[in-house]
Amino acid sequence: MSADPPKHEMVYFPNMTSSLPSSSGEFRKVLWTGLYSQVVLMTVPVGGDIGDEVHTVDQALTFTSGQGKATIAGKDQDVKAGDLVVVPAGTQHQFVNTGPTPLILYTIYSPAEHDSRTVHHTKEEGDKEEEEGKDQAPAWSRKSKKENEDAGLVEGE
């Protein structure tokens, strides 16, 4: 995984809703970081959770395996493979694995939330790196469209 802005080329993840996610054992693994979004694979162990949190970015989570409970702004919703949950920026959220197998999902943050090279094997490792300021989104992923145009990273319309 690179710390540089993405190249102008396709990034392909085959079978995202089946074989790729089921092979992950890491709690959190950044798969791709773009100028305006980020794709992250997460595996929540049996009895585990992602932590009660609020982000300054939008988040869309697609569940690929397992079952759990989503709590968004105080409202509970059961989730399972095939479900999509959107969490707007500034909204409290928590996801708990309530099933007998890992709860596996991929999430899209917009803009990026994590360092583009992030791999956290456990929730505790992720929490520690976040607390120590080691898991910050790259500065280039938080720039405006105008700043990216001026830097030549995208063409204006």
Q: Residue 120 and residue 141: Cα distance in Å, rounded?
A: 20
Residue 24: predicted pLDDT: 65
Please tell me the number of Cα atoms within 13 Å of 42 on its side-chain side: 25
pTM here is 0.91
DSSP string covering 55-123, please? -SSEEEEEEEESEEEEEETTEEEEEETT-EEEE-TT--EEEEE-SSS-EEEEEEEES--S-TT-EESSH
Run means of pLDDT, 10 residues per run, the chain, 157 residues: 84 76 78 96 95 96 95 97 96 97 94 94 93 93 92 86
Which helix (H) or strand (E) element contains residue 42? strand 38-44
Tokens of 65: 């395996």
Residue 19: predicted pLDDT: 57
Residue 113: predicted pLDDT: 95
